[in-house]
A and B are shown apart, each in its own frame.
Chain A
């Protein structure tokens, strides 16, 4: 079974703090993704990576950065957290194959106060 894990299920941070969200997958997948999920907006792609040290902006990259130093690990960084970044953050991974199916982690609910 594919396993995607995220470092925290719940996180509370203060405005202006630097926040690190970490995602690890154990299936040697090439592709990794960070989404945020907000009510009524579905899932929106923040960044994705198709290889180590490679990254591509998604639809809403502003205020975020990412790091992929190892194939299994993809980090999302909020350089200076703001209240409008309060959200559920979901990590996913996929491999190059027939389906490109994405497998999701359990999510991190981040609250910025």
Chain B
């Protein structure tokens, strides 16, 4: 059974600080996705990482993928309150089927 584990599950950080969310997965995959979910809302796509060593950045968020270690990271730089949300990683198998992590609930406090 494929497992996707995120840590931490809950993260409270001060504005201006840096932090990293980790996503480990248990089987070979070369596609990894990061989504954001605001309370009561649906999932919004942040990044699609398609190959080993892929790095993508958008604003204060940067995602990377190491397929050999089966690890992706989502790095937050100089956090601001607007980044408060739940972040999910997902791995695709056979292209079509996604397996999601349990999510990391991020709260940025002033």
Contacts and interface: CB of A to CB of B under 8 A. Distances in A.
A98 B90 CA distance: 16
Interface of A: 31, 33, 35, 40-45, 48, 50, 58, 90, 92, 94, 96, 98-107
Contacts of B90: 43, 102
B101 A42 contact: yes
A52 to B, nearest CB: 16
B50 A42 contact: no
Contact of B100 (A31, A43, A105, A107): A43
A113 to B, nearest CB: 20
14 contacts: A42-B102, A42-B103, A43-B88, A43-B90, A43-B100, A48-B96, A90-B42, A100-B92, A101-B45, A102-B33, A102-B90, A104-B44, A107-B41, A107-B42
Interface residues of B, number: 23
Contacts, number: 54
Contact of A45 (B44, B50, B98): B98
Contacts of B48: 99, 101
A98 B102 CA distance: 25
A104 B96 contact: no
B16 to A, nearest CB: 29
Which secondary structure dominates chain B's binding surface? strand
Contacts of B33: 101-102
A50 B96 contact: yes
Interface of B: 4, 31, 33, 35, 41-45, 48, 50, 88, 90, 92, 95-103
Contacts of B95: 96, 100
A90 B98 contact: no
Contacts of A103: 45
Contacts of B101: 42
A103 B88 CA distance: 14
B31 A99 contact: yes
Contacts of B96: 31, 48, 50, 94, 100
Given A41-B102, A42-B102, A43-B88, A104 B43 contact: yes
